[in-house]
Structure 1
Amino acid sequence: MRLEPITWERLTGALAAHLDALAPADGGPWLKVAVDGAPAARPGDLAERVASELRLRGRDVAAVATSGFLRPASLRFEYGKEDPDAYYGGWFDTGALWREVFGPLEADGTGWFLPDLWDPVADRATRSPYRRLAPGGVLLLHGPFLLGHWFPFDLTVHLRLSGAALARRTPERWTLPAFERYEAEVAPADAADVVVRADDPRRPAWAGLP
């Protein structure tokens, strides 16, 4: 895969322009976008940048973090607080994402989605109100392990870190085997539509748009 240097500003603009062109001008179906990456790659930062640019273009946008859809502590920590296999396959409530986020944004959906479900600090439901995403709006779902679940994304962006960069920038080193498993089982750099190398946070590089 050939990667070319790019700035975060240019990357944000290119992704926003691409999504704005994909979204229907007169409302209609919602676009669903994955910004996939380990916490060390800061996928939420890119999602928020793109969301801000799309709002300037007149699009309704929702940037939703998978960290708001964690399972209760009793389920996440069933095998201990530092089990990489549980982190990989058992921490995130994919069923709730299907039900509360993707379902309402299907072609015949209402557009009323839940921005978050569970507060991991208080270990209780957030009780956040539902929010309506206007027709033609864009969902930006960001977090780790987003690919490989058959989520109905219209565009997938993967922030890639080399093994050395991931280890260097991840304080929770016990999670590293989970990301190794993700690489082996899902191969996100091959599965994603857009790949961004973020080893140096000041100098990203990307493979361009599909």
Structure 2
Amino acid sequence: MKLEAITWQRMAERLAGHLDAPAAGDTWQRVGIDGAPAADTGVLAEELAGALRSRGRAVLVVAAGGFLRPASLRFEYGRQDVDAYLQGWYDTGALWREVFGPTDPGGSGRVLPDLWNPVTDRATRSPYAELPPGGVVILHGPLLLGHWFPFDLSVHVSLSAGALGRRTPESERWTLPAFARYARDTDPASTADVLVRADDPRHPAWTGLPPS
């Protein structure tokens, strides 16, 4: 697979242009930026949000980490259970209900930016964001692909096994087998519309834009 060196800012500009290429009209667009926590998907999410806003688009950035399940459910089988991390940490049902449902055709555009605070282990009680038709939701975080989320554009920020190990804090290294299994079973590098390699976050490379 051929990769092209690029900056995060230039990548965001290219992605924003791709999203503007078809007439957005009165429908919402949903972008997924997938990657392990060590890949820091929020960097590209914020760069893309800025590029879209400069084009006059309304944008809401949503972190998957704001849709964790309560601790009683996440840690039901222990704090370091790989199966639970893969299948039960993130509230995919709430994402469907609060993020994707409102931005389906005919939806309300009322998107909940987050649901649960894992530090306090309480509901965030954040107000709904009113995203006008033609707006863009950018959802970023780990393990997003393989749930049939209706992304208009999906990006996977990939790290080699070595880079993932080096950049994952010691306290979170128990998740490494989960990401190895995710890579094997879901194959996000092939599933995503755009693949980004970010072993060195200062010098990302990507596959380029998908065909229009």
TM range (shorter): over 0.9
Corresponding residue of 2:158: 160
Matches within 5 A, 1:57-76: 57-76=55-74
DSSP 3-state at the match of 2:21: helix
Aligned counterpart for 1:92 among listed residues 90, 106, 112: 90
In 1, distance between residues paired with 2:77 and 2:93? 21
Matches within 5 A, 1:37-52: 37-52=35-50
Corresponding residue of 1:169: 167
Cα displacement (A) at 1:22: 3.3
In 2, distance between residues paired with 1:168 and 1:86? 23
Matches within 5 A, 1:124-143: 124-143=122-141
Cα displacement (A) at 1:23: 4.9
TM-score by length of 2: 0.96
In 2, distance between residues paired with 1:115 and 1:9? 24
**Partner AA of 1:82 in structure 2:** Q
In 2, distance between residues paired with 1:133 and 1:28? 11
In 2, distance between residues paired with 1:104 and 1:176? 34
Corresponding residue of 2:200: 200
In 1, distance between residues paired with 2:163 and 2:23? 35
Corresponding residue of 1:35: 33
What do you get for the CA RMSD once the two structures are aligned?
0.9
Residue by residue, what CA displacement relative to the aligned partner does 1:40-65 show, whole Å, maximum 9, x if unpaired?
A: 11101110110011111100001100
Q: Mind listing any 5+ residue stretches in structure 2 that lack a counterpart?
A: none
Is 1:56 the counterpart of 2:54 in the alignment?
yes
In 2, distance between residues paired with 1:22 and 1:82? 44
Corresponding residue of 2:120: 122
Corresponding residue of 1:21: 21
Aligned counterpart for 1:147 among listed residues 145, 148, 151: 145
TM-score by length of 1: 0.97
Name the % identity. Answer: 68
Aligned counterpart for 1:82 among listed residues 80, 83, 97: 80
Comparing 28-37 and 82-91, the one that deviates more: 82-91
In 1, distance between residues paired with 2:23 and 2:43? 22
In 1, distance between residues paired with 2:9 and 2:136? 19
In 1, distance between residues paired with 2:46 and 2:31? 12
**Partner AA of 2:18 in structure 1:** H
Cα displacement (A) at 1:143: 0.3
Cα displacement (A) at 1:17: 1.3
In 1, distance between residues paired with 2:4 and 2:180? 25
DSSP 3-state at the match of 2:60: strand
**Partner AA of 2:196 in structure 1:** V
